[in-house]
Amino acid sequence: MKLAETEIPDVKLISPVRFGDERGWFEETYRQDILAAAGIRDVFVQDNVSFSISRGTIRGLHFQAPPSAQAKLVRVLVGSALDVAVDLRLSSPTYGRHVTVEIDAKSGRMVYIPSGFAHGFCTLEPNTLLTYKVSAPYDGKRDRGLAWNDPALGIEWPVSASDAILSAKDRNAPELAKLESPFE
C-alpha cells in the first residue's frame, strides 16, 4: 500500500499494490500495521456497503457526533465516485475546508477520513458500489448532516443541483454557518 496526503493532511489517499497475471490481479485492501505506521490507528468495527443505481447520486455530507464519531476507510468496488470530506474540527486550521478525491474500482484507490469530518460522495457512473469501514457503529441519535451544496464550502460537484439525486435528509441538512460542530 502507498499512502499520500491530500490538501488536508489528515485525509489520506491510499493506493493498494496490485499483483496481476493472466488470471487477473490480487491486492491487499487493509493492513492494520501499514496504516498504523502511517498514523492511522483507528479500530474499524463495522463495514458498510452503498449501492447507487444512477449517476449523479449524492450521499452526504454525513457525520456522527461524539462519542459515536466515525473515522472511515472508503473504496469503490464497482463504478466510480467523487468522494468529499469537510473538516468540522473547530480548532483545526482547515476548519470548513474540503478535500475531493475521485475513486474508482479500476484503480482501487481508497480514502481515509478521520473523525471530525463530514463525508459524502457523488456517483460518476450508474450502478456504483462503495464499501467503507467505520470506527464506530451506526448511532441514529448522533447521526448528523451538512448541506452538500452549501456555497460557503465551494465544493465543485459533478452534477447540477437540479440533476442531483438526493434523500430528503440530505436535501434538508443545515449549512455550515448554522451547524454547531460537535468537534473541538
CA gap 10, 40 in Å, rounded: 9
Q: Where are the extended beta strands (E) located within 30-127?
A: 46-52, 58-64, 72-78, 80-87, 98-104, 110-113, 117-123
* Cα-to-chain-centroid distance, residue 130: 10
Q: Of these residues, 62, 98, 112, 119, which one is catalytic? A: 62
Cell numbers that stand for 9 in this block: 493532511
132 is an active site residue: yes
DSSP code of 183?
A: -
- Reference 13, options 85, 64, 62, 69; nearest CA is 85
Annotation marks residue 98 as catalytic: no
The rounded distance, in Å, linking the Cα atoms of 28 and 1 is 8
Q: CA-CA distance, 119 to 141, in Å (whole number)?
A: 18
| In contact, 74 and 50? CB cutoff 8 Å | no
Q: Choose the catalytic residue: 30, 112, 132, 138.
A: 132
Which residues are catalytic, by number? Answer: 62, 132
